[in-house]
Amino acid sequence: MAEMRRGRPCGVTYSSRSERLPRLCCCSFQYSKKLSVMGDAKMIKVGVVGYGTIGKRVADAVRKQSDMQLIGVTGNSYSFRMDAAHEKNISIFATEEGKAALEKNGVPVAGTFEQLLDHVDIIVDCTPKKVGKEHKEKYYLPRKLKAVFQGGEKPSIAQVSFTAQCNYNDAINKDYVRVVSCNTTGLNRTLDAVHRAFGVSAVHATMIRRGADPWDIRHGPMNAIVPVLEMPSHHGPDVMTVLKDVPVFTTAVSVSTSLMHVHNIIADLKTEATVQDVLHLFQKTTRVRIVTNDAWIRSTAEIMEYARDLGRDRGDMPEICIWKEGIGIVGHKLFYMQAIHQESNVIPENIDAIRAMMGFTDAKKSIEMTNKSFGMR
């Protein structure tokens, strides 16, 4: 990327991209007013493209960071999500496809998609799979604009596949980073900890996947268990884009639930460990939470209720939840069961990816800052 500059808050180093850009010839008064909000040079200016399950959460998370400023999100169609963004004073930049519907439904439009791109240091692209690739080629590469992509895109879209606690450093100053999928993020967080502590020679894991997200009335099995008929499922190879020396073989089935995924994991350890050792390890691993039968957390439904009781935004549980009573050791084989809140666990990763790509070199500090903003450890 272009010239880099030092001296930002918290040691952030980031591209001075916005200073190189021509000022907008404002197409509307409404948009020219927005320009004054865009002027805080101390902040990393972030745009979110795609305002669905992941994008709306990333946008809210960006707004909570003391070193970031959400410049706006894209509106690609009209829905209650756009009304909610407007009510939250989030600037909406219309795609060509979305402009007419947004205007027809009275959603104020701050500018065009391309104008959003011209006023940010970095984009987080949260569009459905394959759209990110099109955007990269058509918009981000010609502008030399940094972009974070999501797990639906192929690994080749980015220089690095990313899970903060595993390989933050690999993303420092990179232009294109892919936050791996929710399942892969869940596997990476816990397997990385186990591998560092005991060494892992092989992993066999089964993903029991939610059929659709809670709001989604279009997808999902309603009265079926649907096996993924490929061996391995894509998750194992995806884990190995981050944990390169851990051989992981996965299978997957989709089931009639929308709340969370569950993983049943068997890891062959290189050194001896007890259940207590593993429990202690997970208790101190960031973004992992031990849940217990004793506390009446016997299901994904109770985990979600717990998240609501904690007062989490949208009732989210970004931590990977491991059942204490589900940890077992037989010889060198470690068994454990974990639940993944697919809507939220990748959101902190997007925040850390932004910092790393903008040149913030302290992984531990970034993870701490992000965790604090989510109320987790």
> Looking at the annotation, which residues are catalytic?
182
342 near ligand NAD, judged by CB under 6 A: yes
Tell which positions 80-99 bind ligand NAD, by CB under 6 A: 95
Nearest to 150 by CA among 315, 347, 15: 347
Answer whether 116's CB lies under 8 Å from 71's CB.
Answer: yes
How many angstroms separate the CA atoms of 12 and 113, rounded?
27
Length reported for the chain:
377
How many angstroms separate the CA atoms of 170 and 164, rounded?
9
| Binding residue for ligand NAD, selected from 343, 358, 371, 373, defined by CB under 6 A | 343
126 near ligand NAD, judged by CB under 6 A: yes
| Binding residue for ligand NAD, selected from 112, 163, 181, 254, defined by CB under 6 A | 181
100 near ligand NAD, judged by CB under 6 A: no
258 near ligand NAD, judged by CB under 6 A: no
What one-character DSSP code corresponds to residue 136?
I
Nearest to 78 by CA among 57, 55, 53, 99: 99
Which string of x and - marks every residue 128-147 that binds ligand NAD (by CB under 6 A)? xx-x----------------
285 near ligand NAD, judged by CB under 6 A: no
Q: What is the token pair recorded at 134? A: 């099109």
**To the nearest whole angstrom, how small is the minimum distance from the Cβ of residue 36 to ligand NAD?**
26
| Binding residue for ligand NAD, selected from 14, 15, 31, 50, defined by CB under 6 A | 50
49 near ligand NAD, judged by CB under 6 A: yes
Alpha helices in the chain (DSSP H): 17-20, 29-37, 53-63, 80-87, 99-104, 113-118, 131-135, 141-143, 164-167, 182-198, 235-239, 275-283, 300-309, 347-357, 363-374
User: Which residue lies nearer to ligand NAD by CB, 221 or 247?
Assistant: 221
| Binding residue for ligand NAD, selected from 213, 268, 277, 313, defined by CB under 6 A | 213
Which amino acid, one-letter code, is at 328? G
Q: Is the peptide bond before 232 cis (omega within 30 degrees of 0)?
A: yes
127 near ligand NAD, judged by CB under 6 A: yes
| Binding residue for ligand NAD, selected from 182, 260, 269, 334, defined by CB under 6 A | 182
Choose the stretch contacting ligand NAD; rule: CB under 6 A; options: 59-67, 121-129, 291-299, 331-339.
Answer: 121-129
Interface ranges with ligand NAD (CB under 6 A): 49-55, 74, 76-77, 95, 126-129, 131, 150-153, 181-182, 213, 342-343, 346
